[in-house]
Structure 1
C-alpha cells in the first residue's frame, strides 16, 4: 500500500560508522521491508544527509532509508586524502556491505550521483538500481566536441590559461577563494542561482551547508576535489551498468543542460526511465513530493 507523508524539514539524528579509521556519519530511518530493497541517498558537493530530510521522511513508511555523508563532507571526517569518485565508490560499497547488509537502491544528486553510478557500474553485486538526480560526471566525447567548436588558442591565450591555472594552484589563492565561498551570503546567492524556487533556499538550508565548511580539514577537501584528475567517464560506466536506471532532471539547472545530457545517457543506456521536473540543480529538495513519488513507484517496480 502506498503511503504519502508530507516532507519534513526537521533535522534527523544519525550515528557514526568507522571506515578506514575515519568517522562516517549516516542516518537510518524506517523498518526493513521484505521484498523491498532499502534506499541509500547520497548528497552532492558541499551538502550532507541534511539535504535529504524531505525525502527521508517522505519515503521511510515504504522503505528502510539510509543517507550517508561522503567522507570530506557534512558530519563525516575530513582527513587529508585525494578525494575522488573511486574513494567515494569504495566508501559507499563498503557501507552497503557492512551497515545495510543487503543490496540497495542508490539515489545520488550531482557529485553524489556520479559516485552512485560508479558503485552501480563497478560493484554491481550490492546494487538493485540507481537513481541519478542532475548527476555530475564527464562524458568521453565532451572535450572532442568542444575542440571542434572552439578555434585554436593563440600563444597569448595559452599563456594566460596556464597563468590562471598556476594561480589557482597556489595555497593562498585557494584559501582566499574558499574563505569567500563559505560565507553565508555567498552560499545563499549560489543556491538562489541553482534553485528555480527561491523560497526553498531557507536559512536552515544555508546553515546546513555553512556549518561543515568550517570544520578542520574542509579547505583540504575543497582543494583536493578541484585538483584531483577526473574519474572514469560516464559513458564507460554506463557500458558496465546492468541494473535499472532512473534519471530525474531538474530542467532549470543552470549548471547542466539537462536535455543534452539526457540524450547522452539514452545513447549509452537506452533502457533507462526518465522524468523532467520544474526545478533546478537539487530537485529532491525543491520538489520533494514529485521526486519521492517517482522514486517510490520506480523502486517498488524493481524485480531482483
Structure 2
C-alpha cells in the first residue's frame, strides 16, 4: 500500500513538472537587434538566423555572441548599429540560440568553429573582421587557424581557453549532460537555472559589474530567449563542459592582428588571465575596460565601439579620416 502511494505520488509529481515545463515555454519571441535586415542561412540542413546592416561593399564585420543560457546576437545591441556606420556588419545567432533553429543534438566546440568558418566563406564571401565574446571567443580560434584568409583582424572579448573552461569535462560532464537531456527532470532543472531569479543572479553576479545594467527588461529579454522550444540543448553543453576548449596549442598559431578586450572586473574569466594571451601571441594587443565585467562591449559600449573601429581601420587609408 505504501509503495503504491509512493509511486502514485511520484507519477503525480512528474506530471506536475511536465505541465509546468510546458507552461514555461509559452513566452514571446526572442528580442531582436534594431536597424538590421533579418536573413536566414542554411548550414548543413539547419536554418541559422542573422541580421545585417551597413553599406554594401563596406569592410565586413562578423559578430559572434557568447555561449551561455539565453545567448543570442542581441548581446551586441549596443554595437551593431554603431559599427554599421563604417562597416557591413553581420550578427549571427549560433545553432541552438536566439532565432536560429534549436535542434536536440549534442553540441561541441567544432560546431561553433564550423558555423563561423562556413558563414564567413559562403554568406559574407570576402575577408571579414571577426568579433567574438567569452567562450565563443575561444571557439572561433580553430576557424582562424584553419582558414586565416577568411578573416582580417580579430577582436576577442574576455576569451576562455587559457586558464578557464580549457579542459575536457570527463565522466562528470557526461552525467550532467545526460541529465539535462532528460524530458521532464532535465527540463525542470534547466527551467530553474533560467528562471527570472536565476538569470538575474547570472547577469548581476557574473556578466555585469554595474548593477544598473541588470534591468527588469534585460532579464525579460534573456528569459524569453531561454524559454523557446529546444533552447535548453545548447546551454546544456555549456553547463556540462562539452564546449570547453584549451587554446595553449592553437592560440600561438593565430596569424591575425588581434585585439583582446577585457573587463577589469570580470570574475569568471579574471583579467589576470589576459597576460597569457599577450605573452603567447605577439600579434595580440590588450585593451582593459574599467568598470566592466564579462561584457565590456555593453557596459562600456561607446568606448568599445571607438576602440574596435580604430583597431579595424588602423593601417588603412580611412584611418586618418
TM-score (norm 1): 0.82
1:37-86 deviation digits (Å, cap 9, x = unpaired): 31111111232111111101111111111110111111111112221221
Match of 2:44 in 1: 20
Matched, 1:118 2:142: yes
User: How many Å separate the matches in 1 of 2:52 and 2:243?
Assistant: 31
Question: How much has 1:117 moved relative to structure 2?
Answer: 2.1
CA distance 1:210–1:245, shift in 2 (3 Å): same
Q: Which residue of 2 aligns with 1:247?
A: 260
SS in 1 for 2:192: helix
Q: Does 1:296 align with 2:309?
A: yes
Structure 2 residue matching 1:81: 3-state secondary structure: coil
Of 81, 92, 101, the residue aligned with 2:105 is 81
2:228 corresponding residue in structure 1: 215
What is the Cα deviation at residue 134 of structure 1? 0.8
Q: Deviations over 1:230-261 (max 9, x none)?
A: 554212121221111100001101111112x1
What's the secondary structure of 1:299's corresponding residue?
helix
Please give the secondary structure, in 1, of the residue aligned with 2:302: helix
Partner Cα separation in structure 2 for residue 209 and residue 248 of structure 1: 23
2:281 pairs with 255, 266, 269, which one? 269
**Which of 92, 99, 111 is 2:116 aligned to?**
92
CA distance in 1, matches of 2:293, 2:185: 30
| RMSD after superposition | 2.7
| Correspondence list, 1:127-146, <5 A | 127-138=151-162
Aligned length: 275
Contact 2:173 2:240 in 1 (8 A): no
User: Which protein is bigger by CA-based radius of gyration?
Assistant: 2
Contact 1:83 1:228 (C-alpha < 8 Å) held by counterparts: no
The residue that corresponds to 1:41 in the other structure is 63
CA contact (8 A) 2:106 2:233 kept: no
Within 5 A, what are the aligned runs for 1:270-289?
270-278=282-290, 279-289=292-302
Change (3 A) 1:12 1:169: same
Does the C-alpha gap of structure 1 residues 104 and 185 become closer, same or farther in structure 2, counting only changes over 3 Å?
same
CA contact under 8 A between 2:51 and 2:90: conserved in structure 1? Answer: yes
Aligned-partner SS, 1:234:
coil
* Equivalent residue number for residue 4 of structure 2: none
Within the alignment, does 1:204 sit opposite 2:228 as a pair? no
Distance 2:315 2:217 in 1: 35
SS of the residue aligned with 2:129? Answer: strand
Task: Name the counterpart of 1:192.
Answer: 204
2:190 pairs, out of 175, 178, 182, with: 178
Could you say which residue in structure 2 is the equivalent of 1:150? none
Uncovered stretches (5+) of structure 1, i.e. residues with no partner: 1-8, 144-161
Residue in 2 that maps onto 1:11:
34
After TM superposition, the score normalised by the length of structure 2 is 0.78
Preserved contact between residue 84 and residue 228 of structure 1 (Cα < 8 Å): no
